[in-house]
């Protein structure tokens, strides 16, 4: 241990940088960029990816806007996956699969919300009609 104590401001800054970086991992094109530049072959970078696994813990994961990045972070722990990311076809496939997943999720969520709204309407008591209709 180097004896370096991080100030609260430095810790907050590191948290923000790591949060942003982890979320960038949800972008297959960014992963392809990292692979083509050789970062995914460098031992210090691979160790950094391993270090970032703490984001899977609920007290950190709750800050993520793009939780899919955690799946990509998990896959990046495997050398074979890191090697395949150099291939543009692999990246395109991952990108397409993400889009299909999000489309399916959106449709399924919309159907569930509609079904819930219909169910709630069926269980609400109808307001009694008082026959106060006036006609002219």
pLDDT single digits (tens) 60-102: 999 999 888 999 999 999 999 999 999 888 788 787 777 776 6
- Confidence check: pLDDT of 13 > 80: yes
Q: What is the pLDDT of residues 15-71, one digit of tens each?
A: 999 999 999 999 999 999 999 999 999 999 999 999 999 999 999 999 999 888 999
* DSSP, residue by residue, 74-115: HHTTSHHHHHHTTSHHHHHHHHHHHHHHHHHHHHHHHHHHHH
CA nearest 78: which of 116, 118, 32, 46?
A: 46
| Rounded-to-integer distance, Cα 52 and Cα 19, Å | 9
Q: What is the Cα–Cα distance from 69 to 27, expressed in whole angstroms?
A: 8
What fold characterizes domain 9-112? Arc Repressor Mutant, subunit A (1.10.10)
């Amino acid at each position: 241990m180097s004896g370096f104590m991080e100030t609260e401001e430095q810790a907050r800054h590191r948290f923000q940088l790591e949060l942003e970086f982890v979320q960038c991992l949800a972008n297959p094109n960014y992963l392809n960029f990292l692979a083509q530049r050789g970062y995914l072959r460098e031992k210090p970078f691979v160790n950094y990816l391993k270090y970032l696994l703490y984001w899977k813990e609920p007290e950190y994961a709750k800050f993520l806007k793009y939780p899919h990045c955690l799946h990509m972070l998990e896959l990046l722990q495997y050398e074979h996956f890191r090697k395949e990311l150099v291939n543009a076809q692999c990246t395109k496939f991952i990108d397409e699969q993400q889009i299909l997943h999000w489309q399916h999720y959106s449709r399924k969520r919309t159907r569930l919300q509609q079904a819930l709204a219909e169910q709630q309407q069926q269980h609400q008591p109808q307001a009694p009609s008082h026959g106060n209709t006036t006609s002219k």
